[in-house]
Amino acid sequence: MSTAKAEENKKAASTIVEAKVEAKPAPPLPPPKKEEKKKKKEEEEVLEYVFDPVPPNTTPVDTYWIEEPYVRIVIAPIPGKGGQKGYFIDEVTLNKNEKNAFNRIKEILSRELAPPKDMSVDARQHVVEEAKRLMKKYKGVLGSLNEESIKKVEYYIRRDLIGYGPINPIIEDKNIEDISCDGINKPIYVWHKKHESLPSNLRIMDKNYFNDFIIKLAHFAGKHISAAFPIVDAMLPGKHRLAATYGDEVSTFGSTFTIRKFREEPFSIVDLINMGTINPALAAYFWFTLDNRLTIIIIGGTGAGKTSFLNALTNLFKPGLKIVTVEETAELNIPHDNWVQFVTRESYGLGTSKIGEITMFDLVKTSLRYRPDYLIVGEIRGAEAFVMFQAMATGHGGLSTVHAENIEYAIKRMTSPPMNIAESYIPLMNVACLVERVVLPKKAGVPFGRRVRQVWELDPEGNRINIASWNPVEDSFEIDFSRSVHLPNICRKSGMPPDWYVRELQVRESVIRWMMANNITHFRDVARVVTEFHVKRSEVISKLR
């Protein structure tokens, strides 16, 4: 190698060394994205839901406890909303130590929760007892909590583990009929018996939490919901009706749900009289017509009280009648032993396949083989209506509801697809009554209520005869049974004089008024008195005298 070439290589090597010495150290590589997200999540707690505080400078309209001293409800005007009332859940909160203890006991319960020795034990009570046992066992692990803090943790265990989480106070509130949430960061709305539709102070903020919450509701109902099957219609424990959607598959604002609360003890016919829905004379009329297997169709809009009224009429059945009910979800509660309850079943198949599906039509058709004295269909809206009217034509009594604003629209629905009832069969609907949610006069003491607005009888030609109507000015009923076509017919079939029904209605009205005077309101107690009237009529009448 030449001297010039060697010097050139030496110079290049020294330049590289100098560059390495003068170069600044490279900056550290950024942490992986997963670690960064995890660190951020640890630094900032995810806000799953929020309860907006009760307005401090406002006068509450209504206040009552759900579980004292942990949660109460405050109905108060919302600031900046022009006087609009809100439904405020005022719930005890956990401090940092209590929250840590609550999270720890949840982890321990998931590992050490023992199954009950006896399957007849109430599952909810068992979880509470197990939580108390484990809290005593791991008292040192949970930290130094006083008795008050332990009670608060127990409340949150009941609320979150065996209850419905943040909406549990609304579920427990007996004044609420409906609960609905329209999406993320939207107030949950409630329908209050006294104050009607109200926005609550509860908003669900986290999308993942909301999706998990919807899955939990579906699992409570024994159903599945996911992105593949994003809609569920089911029944929760306690017979609350659930309709829900999952994620943003079918709903723009994310998951949604509506819960229609079920009354564990249904209204009796005496309850409806005390509430003003009907009066004793009308109740006696329905009692007499049911005894003689007339068909009654209850008409009304959404939330009018059709099902409640239908259930109350079942208190008046004769003892020993064979009753068969057909429903999509089991809502009826009938105080009779000789009762068969049918409920539809969804398909097991995917897509257009309907493997295993049992429809209302199938059940109504099957029910005729049970030879029912009365066939009750929760709501007619499809092909099952045709089969039901066929059953009524062969002498079976019928009870059902139909969704319509008046009798004209009800008949149009029945004679059109998918019901397709022939117009010649419409007179088989012996009695039709319209139930509505109405504005009440001031003297009623409450702004709104439910009333039997009108009662019609249909003669064999299909003519509608109005025999009773509600007077909105006086909040009273105007009744003219002398216009009835079915009451004299019942007298003739019974071999009695044409006006025998007048005396019979008076006797039954007296029995109903006697129950009202003696505060007999429970639906089973009412049914017991009705049974006594049929079995020991003379004794009951002498008791009235």
What does the H/E/C string look like for 59-76?
Answer: CCCEEEEEECCCEEEEEE
pLDDT at position 413: 95
What is the per-residue pLDDT across 311-369, written as a single tens digit (0 to 9) for each? 999 999 999 899 999 998 888 999 999 999 999 987 766 555 667 889 999 999 999 99
Is pLDDT above 70 for 88? yes
Enumerate the domain spans of the chain.
Answer: 48-178, 269-544
Q: What DSSP state is assigned to residue 319? A: T
CA pair distance 429, 141, nearest whole angstrom: 69
What value does the mean pLDDT of the chain take?
A: 88
Q: What is the CATH number of domain 48-178?
A: 3.30.450.380
pLDDT at position 12: 46
pLDDT at position 34: 53
Question: For residues 100 and 126, is the Cβ–Cβ distance under 8 A?
Answer: no
Torsion of CA 350, 355, 361, 363, to 10 degrees: -120
pLDDT at position 23: 43
Confidence label for 448 from pLDDT (cuts 50, 70 and 90): confident
pLDDT at position 18: 47
What is the per-residue pLDDT across 373-405, written as a single tens digit (0 to 9) for each? 999 999 999 999 989 999 998 889 999 999 999
Q: How many CA atoms lie within 13 A of 271 on its CB side?
A: 18
What is the per-residue pLDDT across 498-520, written as a single tens digit (0 to 9) for each? 999 999 999 999 999 999 999 99
The gap between the terminal CA atoms of the chain, to the nearest Å, is 139
Q: Quote the distance between the C-alpha of residue 268 and its chain's center.
A: 19
Lowest mean pLDDT segment, chosen from 120-129, 201-210, 255-264, 464-473: 120-129
What is the architecture, at CATH level 2, of domain 269-544?
Answer: 3-Layer(aba) Sandwich (3.40)
Is pLDDT above 90 for 64? yes
3 state SS of 231? strand
One fold for both 48-178 and 269-544? Answer: no
Strand partners, 176: 192
Is pLDDT above 80 for 203? yes
Question: For residues 191 and 206, is the Cβ–Cβ distance under 8 A?
Answer: no
Q: Which of 358, 357, 423 is nearest to 386 (CA)?
A: 423
pLDDT at position 16: 41
CA pair distance 298, 399, nearest whole angstrom: 8
Report the pLDDT averaged over residues 170-181: 95
Structure-token pair, residue 114: 């023992």
